[in-house]
Amino acid sequence: MSLPTFKSITGRAIPGTRKSAASQIEYMPSVDWPLLVAFISLTLFGLIAIGSSSMPYATRHFGEPLYFVERQSIFLGLSAVLGMLVFCLPTRLLERWGPVLLIFSLVLLALVLVPGIGKVVNGSRRWLTLGPLNIQVSEAVKLFIIIYLAGYLVRRGEIVRNTWKGFINPMILVLIADVMLLLEPDFGAAFVITAITAILLFVAGVRLTQFAALGGLLVALSTLVIVTSPYRLQRLASFLNPFDDPYGAGFQLTQSLIAIGSGSWFGVGLGSSVQKLFYLPEAHTDFVFAILSEELGLLGAVAILGIYTFIVWRAFLISRTAYALGSHFSAYTALGIGCWIGLQSYINIGVNMGVLPTKGITLPMLSYGGSSALIFVVSFAVLIRIDYENRRQQSQALKPSRKEQVMRAGRVYA
């Protein structure tokens, strides 16, 4: 009669248990399947949303209804390959590369500002052209700064919590990146990066006096940036009352509100939006949520919010698990990615609903944008890798030691 066995993480059968085959323990780490399904569902739905919202614009300007869908699909294919490669990288390598990635991000931001290198679209110099691809540098910078800050808080955690120097040093680098982003100009990206930095520093345990000083500085700088920029003042005025100038400064927000209001409870039907018919400018980019709300109604809008909330919640759980396991770099990185996805999605939705001033921030995986999709897929791959390492560490803790295996085997033979 054969001995009862169970499988170890290596897949080898080791004697020493009397469990039935149905109850054998697998010490093989898995992944967060609900999170993976939610992200894939959001990505596929994003293709549908881009197709629905962009067909009239694509037909008129390019003579091809699926022009933007095809381009987005190509970027998603490249993103999937790159995401799988990033998933294979241990987080310790990302921690080691943090300072290099920060320097690289600052170099990219500087290159964008160079005439002839940075590409200007709609008055903003935010893109680098690499052959047929246009890369929005600010999206990559967000991820690189998160990775750098996570490593810095691990290496200099005590100094950050107890001295002003440790607190100010990373803020100087972030402010340099913010200044270059404002020169593009890209106020939305600068705001998101600064907000993520503040959250990570707060969670790392900086003193309240330091945090209050940071908050006051950010409010003062934001006010200065808005007051000294005529077009930002105009955006703020149109946000406060868009119907004062519905055919001028408030046109885009007015059309967005009309689209959302037209959706009612259940929407007018997927593909049946009226506002995308040249009323809402470039609806497939920053205002895709308004078109989805018109076509899917309140219930569809709530479902989209629910998916984003679920992804952010799972990211926070992954962060908490990593911290409990002693993987502080992974914990800070997962927290930063979760905050990034949450902030960017909620800000974009708030802009569409007229709750926040227009900032030019994309809706993750739903707005059209190849570089945005690529960076979010890579960020998600990093998040899944952290979760995988958490599960592997937990499985190693549950796995019987070699000594225990030998003792169990001896008892069976006896």
Half-sphere exposure of 142 (CA within 13 A, CB side): 29
**Strand, coil or helix: 120:** strand
Q: How far is CA 356 from CA 100, 253, 338, in A?
A: 35, 10, 21
DSSP 25: P
The angle formed by the CA atoms of residues 110, 133 and 375, to the nearest 5 degrees, is 70
pLDDT on residue 11: 38
Measured from the Cβ of residue 376, the count of other Cβ atoms closer than 10 Å reads 27
What averages of pLDDT result for each successive group of 10 residues across the chain (414 residues)? 36 40 48 91 93 90 90 92 94 94 91 83 76 80 94 88 82 88 85 90 84 77 73 68 75 89 90 87 88 93 95 96 94 96 93 83 89 92 95 79 58 50
The two tokens of residue 48 are 């549908």
Dihedral sign (CA 188, 189, 193, 199): positive
Q: How far apart are the first and last CA of the chain?
A: 14
Helix (H, G, I), strand (E, B) or coil at 325: coil
142 in Cβ contact with 340 (< 8 Å): yes
Q: Where are the domains of the chain?
A: 50-65+229-325+339-404, 89-218
Q: What are the backbone angles phi and psi of residue 13, rounded to the nearest 5°?
A: -80, 125
Give the model's pLDDT for residue 26: 47
Closest CA to 362 of 83, 70, 75: 75
Q: Which ranges constitute the DSSP H helices of 156-186?
A: 157-162, 164-183
Q: Are strands 5-7 and 13-15 parallel, antiparallel or unpaired?
A: antiparallel
pLDDT of residue 243: 75
Q: What share of the chain is helix, strand, coil (3-state, %, to 5)?
A: 70, 5, 25
Neighbour-count burial for 334-370, b at 16+ CB within 10 Å, e otherwise: bbbbbbbbbbbbbbbbebbbbebbbbbbbbbbbbbbb
For residues 200 and 149, the answer to whether their CB atoms sit within 8 Å is yes
Q: In one letter, which amino acid is 129?
A: T
Q: What is the DSSP string of 40-78?
A: HHHHHHHHHHHHHHHHHHHHHHHS-TTHHHHHHHHHHHH
Residue 361's φ and ψ, nearest 5 degrees, are -105, 130
CA 69 to chain CA centroid, nearest Å? 21
CA angle 79, 80, 83 (to 5 degrees): 80
Residue 222: what residue type?
Answer: S
CB 53 within 8 A of CB 276: yes
Nearest CA among 362, 382, 395 for reference residue 150: 382
pLDDT on residue 83: 94
Give the Cα separation of 238 and 129 in Å (integer): 33
Burial pattern 80-112, b for ≥16 Cβ within 10 A else e, equals: eeebeebbeeebeebbebbeebbeebbebbeeb
Q: Is 147 exposed, middle or buried (0-12, 13-18, 19+ CB in 10 A)?
A: buried
**For residue 29, what pLDDT is reported?**
60
